[in-house]
């Protein structure tokens, strides 16, 4: 678990789980042989040079507001993936141990509506899915919601148990992909992984950070931005978005916080010969 200070903004990472099992599904190009040859990649791989992926939330404290960015997988959910099916974790207990309260979250931001980004939006109470953060507004990009209202789901009834109940409770707020959340937090459009995917841009006291969402799954895509994930809705668009992002933020004092980066989780993009790397 890591914490970062960006000007007056504090960011706390809360990890639900770390896994090396998803790499071949997400990025088949990233073989152990290829990754093992990249000298700066080792904190982001396991001992066998397999992709390590962290599933975590990022809690952003800005101007008296507590903002939860992505809510991981969640407990008790029916999922078509054995390790995640009816999962039981101590995520909320550790959330409380960090000094946060579910009642004290003001805003929930979901970079997109995939299974591992919306799960703790709700929790099971007396057989019903209720908002985990009862006093929060849940912000979703409108383009993202319009897509998932029609799209078939791969991992189970994700929309039904983790998104639709938020709408039913009147807590969902549909926003544009460049929405300003506070004076220090805004959404940044990064489409491709999903049609309405957004990253989170933080600016405070002259300092900057970007929370990537799944626009970048793993730091190896900083070196190889053309490597699109098999989970991308539009691989060509995802690669175009990622290439532009890497070029735009390279050699700038902007902290890049990966939503699935294990190890150091964050760093700055720098030019490295004819490509780029994450400087951590």
pLDDT tens sequence across 230-270: 999 999 999 999 999 999 999 999 999 999 999 999 999 99
pLDDT tens sequence across 196-228: 999 999 999 999 999 999 999 999 999 999 999
Residue 24: the pLDDT is 83
Q: Which residue in this structure is represented by tokens 């029916």?
A: 78
Measured CA to CA, the distance from residue 81 to residue 151 in angstroms comes to 19
Measured CA to CA, the distance from residue 92 to residue 236 in angstroms comes to 37
For 192, the token pair is 């491709």
Give the Å distances, CA to CA, from 8 to 32, 203, 207, 267: 40, 9, 9, 19
DSSP string, 171-197: -EEEE-TT-EEETTEEEEE--SSSTT-
* DSSP character at residue 51: B
Fold of 3-279: Metallo-beta-lactamase; Chain A (3.60.15)
**pLDDT, block means (10 residues), the chain with 280 residues:** 97 97 90 96 96 98 97 97 95 98 98 98 98 98 94 91 98 98 98 98 98 98 97 97 98 98 98 96
- The helix/strand/coil state of 63 is coil
Q: Which residue in this structure is represented by tokens 């929790």?
A: 123
Q: Which of 105, 111, 122 is nearest to 70 (CA)?
A: 111
Measured CA to CA, the distance from residue 196 to residue 140 in angstroms comes to 9
For 36, the token pair is 């093992």
Find all residues with CB under 8 Å of 139, minimum gap 6, and list them: 107, 108, 109, 110, 173, 175, 179, 181
Residue 61: the pLDDT is 98
Give the Å distances, CA to CA, from 11 to 69, 86, 180: 10, 29, 18
Contact criterion met (CB below 8 Å) for 179 and 186: yes
Residue 23: the pLDDT is 82
Residue 150: the pLDDT is 82
H or E element in which residue 276 lies: strand 275-279
């Amino acid at each position: 678990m890591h914490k970062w200070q960006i000007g007056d903004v504090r960011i706390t990472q809360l990890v639900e789980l770390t896994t090396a099992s998803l790499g071949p599904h997400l990025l088949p190009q990233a073989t152990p042989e290829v990754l093992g040859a990249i000298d700066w990649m080792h904190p982001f791989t396991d001992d066998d040079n397999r992709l390590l992926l962290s599933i975590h939330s990022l809690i952003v404290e800005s101007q008296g507001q507590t903002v939860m960015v992505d809510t991981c997988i969640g407990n008790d959910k029916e999922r078509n993936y054995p390790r995640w099916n009816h999962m039981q974790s101590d995520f909320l207990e550790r959330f409380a141990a960090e000094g946060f309260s579910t009642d004290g979250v003001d805003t929930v931001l979901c970079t997109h509506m995939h299974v591992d980004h919306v799960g703790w939006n709700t929790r099971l109470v007396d057989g019903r899915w209720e908002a985990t953060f009862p006093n929060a507004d849940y912000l979703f990009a409108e383009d993202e919601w319009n897509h998932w209202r029609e799209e078939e789901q791969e991992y189970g009834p994700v929309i039904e148990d983790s998104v639709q109940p938020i709408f039913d409770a009147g807590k969902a707020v549909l926003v544009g992909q460049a929405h300003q959340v506070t004076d220090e937090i805004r959404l940044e459009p990064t489409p491709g992984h999903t049609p309405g995917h957004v990253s989170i841009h933080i600016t405070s006291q002259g300092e900057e950070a970007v929370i990537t969402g799944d626009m970048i799954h793993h730091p190896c895509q900083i070196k190889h931005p053309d490597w699109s994930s098999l989970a991308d809705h539009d691989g060509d668009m995802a690669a175009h978005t990622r290439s532009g992002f890497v070029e735009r933020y390279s050699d700038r004092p902007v902290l890049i916080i990966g939503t699935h980066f294990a190890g150091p989780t964050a760093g700055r993009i720098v030019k490295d010969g004819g490509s780029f790397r994450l400087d951590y």
